[in-house]
Amino acid sequence: MTLALTMGMSIGYKRTLWMMVGELLGVALVALAAILGIAAVMLKYPDIFFAFKAVGAAYLFYLGIQMWRSKGKLAISSDMEHQQAQ
């Protein structure tokens, strides 16, 4: 809720709607996986579980590097700034 509110104020509600759609799809995917018993599969095949953890850790590492390189600023291109100014 706070993320949607903050993004809505900073980048506009139309772009924030895409973030909210992504959040809803992610939650739906997790709920569907739980219903289908993915946890049981992960317990039966720990190598697959480790692969998922490694991919997730690599993605978080990538996001951290990207945030570090952006020096804490929102990554909005100059084209977007010109469009919003008009």
Tell me the domain boundaries of the chain. 1-36, 46-86
Q: Tell me: pLDDT of 75 over 70.
A: no
Range 68-76 contact pairs with CB under 8 angstroms and sequence separation of 24 or more:
74/10, 74/11, 76/11
Residue 75 is classified by DSSP as -
pTM (2 d.p.): 0.47
pLDDT digits (tens, 9 = 90+) for 17-73: 888 888 899 999 989 988 888 778 778 889 988 998 999 999 999 998 888 887 656
pLDDT given for residue 51 in this prediction: 92
Q: Tell me: pLDDT of 80 over 80.
A: no
